[in-house]
Structures are given as C-alpha cells and as structure tokens.
Chains A and B, each alone.
Chain A
C-alpha cells in the first residue's frame, strides 16, 4: 500500500468562471483513511475524479507512493475508484464482475474467478459467484462493487459516497464491513462523503467547502475546535453568537464569556456554543456563571433528546466598545439540547448557562 498526495490542485469546469477546486491539498498516509466532507457542490467528487485521472486538472500534482501520476490516464494510475452507484457490468455475473480487473491483468479465467471468490468471501457474499447482477439487492450490489474494486489490488482506493444510496441500517453494516476490510487489507483510502458518521470512520477528515479545504484533522477535533464558521455550520450543533474577542474573552450581548486557552482567535469573532453543553436553569441563578434570560419558542425531537429553541433578550452588562451592529435590541436564537420529557414548555423563561469551558469555541467572523 502506498500513500496518496494531492497537492495544490485547482480545477474548474469549462464554461464556468468560478473554480470548483482552489489550490486543494490532501494527503493520505499508507494504510490510513482520510475522509473528505463538504456540502453538495463543494467539489468533493471533482477532487476524487481528478485524483483518479477521470478529470483533467488545471494545476497541481497527484502522487501515489511518491510517484507523479498526473500524466497517466486513469487506468494506469495505481488506484481504483468506487462510485455512488454500483455500476456493475450486467453482461458478467457476480464473479465475472469481481474478476474484471484481474482478467485485464492477464490472469486466466479460472485464476481470476478463484481470486474473485476470495474477495466475495471478504464481503460476505460467498456462493454468489454465478448470480446475475440483476438478482441482487442494492446493498449486495454495493458489496460486489466493493469486492470488485478491492480485487483490482491497487495501492489506493477512492470511494465516492459509496453508501449514500443505502438506507441507514444497510449503511451501518457497510461501515462495519469497511472496518473489516481495512483490518484485513490495510488499503490507503480516500473517502468522499456527506455523512458525518461515515466520515468519522477515518483517521482524519478534510472539510472541503466551495473548493477550498478549510480544515483537516480527526473528527472529534473538528467538532471541538472548528477552524471556520462554514466548518462549524457543516458539522452542526452549534449556537452562534457574534461579538469580539479581547484578552481571551468573547464579548457580546450575552456578556463576557471566557474562551479556552488554545483558542487563538482575536478581533471580530463568532462564539460557538455546542448545544449539548448548554444548560437551562431557573431564572435566578445560584452559581456565578454569566448567563442570559431566554424564552422558549419551539421544541423539536432529536432522537432520544429534545432541541429547545429559545430567544434571548440582551442583558444589562455591556461595555460601550462592544456595541456592534447586531446590538439594536436584537434577539438571538439559541438552541439547547435537553432530555426527552423535560418540563420545558413553550413560553417559559430560563437562564441559558454555559457551564463547561470545553464546549465553547470561536471562529473569525466571515
């Protein structure tokens, strides 16, 4: 297995002025998996197609195992792609599909089919070799597609939202399968997805928004310390409060809120509060933490929890130099997560507390 390095790749589709990819760099160590997430239209699939050689690149380089593959056509790069649709060849049976790449490599029919059977076993489809591809369910087809990609035995595996067309349960079983495959074969994988849980399977996740990589790192880190506002919005679950940062504190209509030491943002900044870290307390607080008075406007379920939407009124304490444009008696909406069945009726008033310093972060105002 070899490493994949995509360096400074820029790309735009002919006939469009804006760049689909703008100086994007992503690296995947040998045997590791890196996921790329981003909203639709962010350029994720284009990035993958450029790496695969299916799309010409305006500039930048692609290296596999240190070797520049930029001038090579797709079939000669040491990588293989799996797409969102299984796209099985219907003139071949299941084993024939999986054996496709080995056959191209010169293996005899028997050899390649034997090899195919091994990979089918890996994806839990033993005994399916002679089946027609049309007789398979969606999940089975995707597994055959995975086996087919693995059977090509290339150094790098590129996965383009491979499980997004499957339902949640199937997707979960495919994630387990992917883990098994990674344990068995340790391929180098670049996974493009919009499913955050899927992205979290990787050692590191790159966030691609509007053709630019905003941040790359392990998923928990992205959740805790998003680098930019678009990243925070993509991951979701934050309440945003605009204001400024001075001396390690964020000033806004919420008051003065201290930030973690490793947050180095200064100047105009958006305070990000993870909603599961916020707490609702009765209007007269006993502890000294600053909070804001807020009124419940909406409740909605979220799995086994509830998300409470509250509207905050400005509190008294404001320095004159924290006056911002937003401070015209404006009300911000904050979302707090509470247990299902909590007694938080619409219209009731609460103080919103930010008890854990770890659930705060700030990003520069866009």
Chain B
C-alpha cells in the first residue's frame, strides 16, 4: 500500500495536476501576450469575447479544434502527422523535474511530505536540457515534411538556431551547478537558501542564459524562423487546426520551461525574497510570481525590439555568448576551488 502510494498514486496525481496547470497556463499566456503587448502598443487587445476579452483563449482553442485539417498533397504523411507530437511531447515532459515548491503534505492528506515536483531526479537539470533538445526534431521534421520551400527554410534556420544556442545555454547553467554542487533542481534551490540567490554571483551567466532562452524558444528578437514578413510563417506554414495548435502550445510550453529553469537556478525557486519572508506567502506563489516576471520579460522584448537577421543571430551566439559563458565557468571554478 505504501509502495503503491509513493510510487504510483501520488506521482499520478501530481502528473495530472502539473499537466493541467501547464496547459491552462499556456492558455493564459496566449491571452497575456495579446493583452500586455497591446497595452504597450497603445491599444486594448482582445475585448469582445467575455469581459475584457478573458474568454479569448477559449475562443482560440475552439477555433483551432474546429478547423479543417489540410495536408499538402505532396507531404510525407506520416512524418507530417508526427512532427507536432515530437514538438509538444518533449516540451511537456520537461515539467517532470521542475520543482514548484517545497516539500508539502497537501494540507495533511499525506503521511510523509512529498516534493512539489513530479519527481526529484538527482540529475534534474541534465534531464530537462536533454529532453528539451528532442523538441528540435519536431520543428525540423515539420518543416521538411511539408514539402514546400518556405517551411523548409524556416525549419533549417530554426534548427540551426536552437542547436547553436543550446551550447551557451548549457554553459551558462554550469556556473550555478558548480556553486550548488548538484544537478538536482531541488538541490540547487536549497543551495540558494543558504546564501545569495545565484543571480548575484552568476550575473553574467544569468544574462547569457536569458538571451539564449529567448533564442531557444524562437521568440523576438530571435524569431526570424517564424518572421511573418519574410517566411510567411516559417516551419509551421502548412499546418492548420490541431497540428498547428500543438506547435503553438509547444512554443509556449517551452517558454514556461525556460522561465521555470531561470526561476529555479537563478532566482531561488520557491524561496521568498530575502526580507519579505514575514508575509507568509506560500512557496508556490513565490514560484509563480517569479515565473510571471520572466514571462513578462519575454513579452516586453517582443513588443520592443526589431529582430536580428539570421547570420547576425548565429554570429552572436557563437562568437559572443559562448566565450562569455566559458569565461564565467572558469572564474566560478577558480573561486569555488
């Protein structure tokens, strides 16, 4: 009974909760994106569907469900069908290792406290990075299987961009790992509870990480692969209906994942802001607030900056971010030793 509880029932419940919350927050993100950017652009955004447009995401979801499923006649049918799946599944799988809060007993329902993560892997960070890399296949195969020039160009660009920016992203994360001495996500947060949040000693790593996170998720100013003005819609030009919805969800889910990693690794996860602990805000609310902050930065960047041209994008990734991240590792290692 205990075994079943610990290893099957509780994780199952957690999975349900986490995936529901993630999918719901993706929906909220679509609404927030339109509203926040609208306000920055001196306009109101969605206003018609529900009060203040709050039901807009539901309208969007219903629209995507009901669209005709168009498949280009010369497309590779099997790959065309699988590509969106390959995009969304890894994005959702990464949430397995993300800790949303401290140990909890769910208000006394459980005998032993349990993590607010589906599973506290002791290689949590490595797992997340590895699984999210699989998402590239979705983009690449989606663009290729559409059998059309624009998606192909978009997919190639996107794949090259994501692969290139994974390197500085990972290198930027090595600094905090050295300081925390563990790959477990929970362990990293605990390491920060003893001292400063890693954003301060690892400031440059933080900046590099943020820039690479934006590039990883194909967001502005690194959103050339999906730039409307140039490639119509990049790799998902030929997709419509639910398959397009999957790509769309995958993008937002990726945004939430990288923001969650940033929160955990640099901003102390569920730890309260030093000095405000007396407010007795639950740990998970702290986590959500910090996550929202990062997501807001994503939107802010999109509203403000033009986009980088593709070759400039690659040049910055390889020639600037990687050296900075490497130097950060060396300096951290020297100081740790």
Task: Judge: A and B partners, yes or no.
Answer: no
- Name B residues whose Cβ lies closer than 8 Å to a Cβ of A: none
